Amino acid sequence: MLIHEVMLKSAEDLRQFMFLAMQSSEEIGVHTADGKIADAKSVLGLMSLDYSKPVKVVTEDSHFVKQLSKWSVKE
């Protein structure tokens, strides 16, 4: 299982993120700091989350995770 922290700052970021997620055959979960979880392939699920803080992306798809670099949270 891969966990990657990202910061999605705009509606366009969210649209691009979901487009990439839809291309994956694996399940992709988006987890917020307050414990909410959404399916990365669900428009309504993604829109229900708070993006004022970074979110964690959980998946088995290493190719998808590599595509997230522009949103990666640098520690």
Q: Which pLDDT tens digit goes with each residue over 20-57?
A: 999 999 999 999 999 999 999 999 999 999 999 999 99
Number of residues assigned to the chain: 75
Structure token digits, residue 33? 């700091």
Q: Where do runs of H (alpha helix) occur along the chain?
A: 11-22, 43-47, 62-66
Predicted TM-score (pTM) of this structure: 0.92
Q: How much is the pLDDT for 75?
A: 57
| Residue 47 identity (one-letter amino acid) | M
